[in-house]
Chain A
Amino acid sequence: MRNTWIICRRELSAYFTSPVAYVFIVIFLALAGGLTFFFGNWLERGQADLQVFFIYHPYLYLFLIPAVGMRLWAEERKSGTMEFLMTLPISTGQAVIGKFVAAWIFAGIALLLTFPIWVTVNFLGNPDNGVIVTAYVGSWLMAGGFLALSASVSALTKNQVVAFVLAAVLGFVFLMSGVEIVQAFFRAWAPPKFVDSVAELSFLTNFGDLSQGVIDVRDILFFASVIGVALFINTAIVEIKKSA
């Protein structure tokens, strides 16, 4: 636990010593705001909620979260620091979790910085703040899901660009698994039961309820399991890659 926290702290400070962090936060805030106002017509709708704010988060994360996660292991492998890190008295699991949590906290900070929109909606009307908090938590959980996928993929390669593209593609599959484009791919060869369960893996479906303030334990469990399984695979990949 202590080691995980030490790794996490170092990773977090690594984010903020590079310009990437600030670029990411600015772009995330600009896009989140822009989409809400111009595509979601938030003001014109005249409703005191953040529905149209949260509805774009899955698509924002699809491209922005791989940018946060791509460096986690690829950079470590490229610069050789993986050898330095993994010969310190820490376990692979601690390193994997520490790095993931750092990136997740970073994503959380970016998400929290959208607070002006929450202030605005409270200024303009009387929104159900419980719904908004649930949606924020749901959004952060979903970010964690994307991030865990990105982190595992990042361990596969030394090249951050490859890590980014792979993570975006994998994220797309999870995001859209309920949508025809992904369903058609599986329906061609897999049994119907399997195709249905693929649909269940959709980030979109599972985020849908949370973003409307419906706390369904299954949705929370879903994102928690995606994170858990992805990090487990991440640990295995790191173990394999460092031995080869």
Chain B
Amino acid sequence: MDRLLEINGLTKKFGPITAVDNISFSVDRGEVLGFLGPNGAGKSTTMKMATGYLSPTSGNITVCGSDVRRNPIEIKRRIGYLPEGAPLYGDMTPHSLLNFVSDVRKLSREDRRRGIEQAVESLHLERVLHQPIETLSKGYKRRVGLAQAIIHDPDVLVLDEPTDGLDPNQKHEVRELLDRMSSTKAIIISTHILEEVDAVCSRAIIISQGRIVADQMPSQLEERSRFHNAVGIRITPDNAEKCMSILHDISEVRSVEQVIQSSGLSELVAFPHNGGDIIGPVRSALDQNGLMVDEMFVEKGRLEDVFRNLTIGGAPNESGDDTGGVGVQEVANHA
């Protein structure tokens, strides 16, 4: 496996505040790493260090085999970076900006033509190519920022909130673009949008208060949710009581909750012990009692739920089965 980015014991202190606290992880070619965490958790700071903008207080960063501190220029050549908020020179047009970046990156005439052409095409920038960037909408600015990060076909792509400010169609296109590029690159994206992790990431790191609290595949993270393998049932309100008591009596079911009542139906969720599979027993118990349900489904687990559990309350908790107990609270961050 081709290890393109390796971070070891990375720490960054701003005066008395520790923004990033002893973080270690690595990213291989072909991986898309999702970087999750509440605002101020240290995501952007970590990315700024990985791209050679901030210098770490301690720890090592290796990009494509060279040390960021020893060869800053060399590693910047191998990285494509979209900084937080996609800051760009407002007085330039996308066309002049992309040419400026190609100049600085010393692209050959052929590479420049191809790089700009592909970036413009895949991010749909044709219409605004000659308008000053300061006059563009947020979505266009973000896409110009993405374009400048990919024109040199970098090995490592670091994108700080790449889909922020994009509409659902644009988000979808950016995800497809990341998907296409993922096989040949190591990609790190930070995001607030949890569905994005499911959609594009092969791995997710959750960081809270400068520390890594989870580093797993999205599906594994979902398993840590108390909703993992829970069975949701929608049923008419008249039958809700009866259904609830039936569910309670199933030995495999740990607890039952009435979640919401909408569209005239009651929704019940039956939680299993330790994420076990309970759809079979639930179905047969309902059948035996001749109870008709309108809808029944197995939950994969809710990332949002895992995210809240790992990032609220401070104390990083690595144990996998201790994710129950937190009800619906205020969402820590909302994109």
Contacts from A to B (Cβ < 8 Å): 2-3, 6-7, 10, 13-14, 17-18, 79-81, 83-84, 86-91, 242-244
Inter-subunit contact A6/B103 (CB<8 Å): yes
Inter-subunit contact A87/B73 (CB<8 Å): no
The one of A2, A10, A18, A242 in contact with B100, judged by C-beta atoms closer than 8 angstroms, is: A10
Contacts from B to A (Cβ < 8 Å): 14, 48, 51-55, 72-74, 76-77, 79, 81, 83-85, 87-92, 96, 100-101, 103-106, 132, 148
Chain A residues touching B, majority SS: helix
Inter-subunit contact B90/A90 (CB<8 Å): no
Excluding A84-B87, A242-B53, 4 further A-B contacts by CB distance (< 8 Å) are A13-B91, A89-B73, A243-B55, A244-B14
For residue B81, which residue of chain A has the nearest CB? Answer: A87
Inter-subunit contact B83/A84 (CB<8 Å): yes
- Assuming the contacts A80-B85, A81-B89, asked whether A87 and B14 have C-beta atoms less than 8 A apart, the reply is no
Inter-subunit contact A14/B76 (CB<8 Å): no
A15 to B12, CA, bound (A): 36
Contacts of A91 in B (CB 8 A): 72-73
Contacts of B76 in A (CB 8 A): 87-90
Inter-subunit contact B87/A80 (CB<8 Å): yes
Question: Smallest Cβ distance from A14 to chain B, in angstroms?
Answer: 5
A235 to B182, CA, bound (A): 37
Question: Smallest Cβ distance from A44 to chain B, in angstroms?
Answer: 45
A88 to B154, CA, bound (A): 12
A84 to B82, CA, bound (A): 8
Inter-subunit contact B87/A79 (CB<8 Å): yes
Contacts of A6 in B (CB 8 A): 100, 103-104
Contacts of B101 in A (CB 8 A): 88
- Assuming the contacts A90-B73, A91-B73, A244-B14, asked whether A10 and B83 have C-beta atoms less than 8 A apart, the reply is no
Contacts of B88 in A (CB 8 A): 81, 84
Inter-subunit contact B83/A83 (CB<8 Å): yes
A81 to B14, CA, bound (A): 21
Between A and B, 6 residue pairs with Cβ closer than 8 Å are A14-B89, A84-B148, A86-B53, A88-B101, A89-B73, A89-B105
A84 to B41, CA, bound (A): 22
Contacts of A80 in B (CB 8 A): 83-85, 87
Contacts of B83 in A (CB 8 A): 80, 83-84, 87
Question: Smallest Cβ distance from B264 to chain A, in angstroms?
Answer: 50
For residue B93, which residue of chain A has the nearest CB? Answer: A17
Question: Smallest Cβ distance from A66 to chain B, in angstroms?
Answer: 20
For residue A79, which residue of chain B has the nearest CB? Answer: B87
Contacts of B132 in A (CB 8 A): 17
Contacts of B79 in A (CB 8 A): 87
Question: Smallest Cβ distance from A125 to chain B, in angstroms?
Answer: 44
For residue A14, which residue of chain B has the nearest CB? Answer: B91
- Assuming the contacts A80-B85, A80-B87, A87-B81, asked whether A3 and B104 have C-beta atoms less than 8 A apart, the reply is yes
For residue A90, which residue of chain B has the nearest CB? Answer: B104
Question: Smallest Cβ distance from A79 to chain B, in angstroms?
Answer: 6
Inter-subunit contact A87/B53 (CB<8 Å): yes
Inter-subunit contact B54/A242 (CB<8 Å): yes
Question: Smallest Cβ distance from B64 to chain A, in angstroms?
Answer: 13
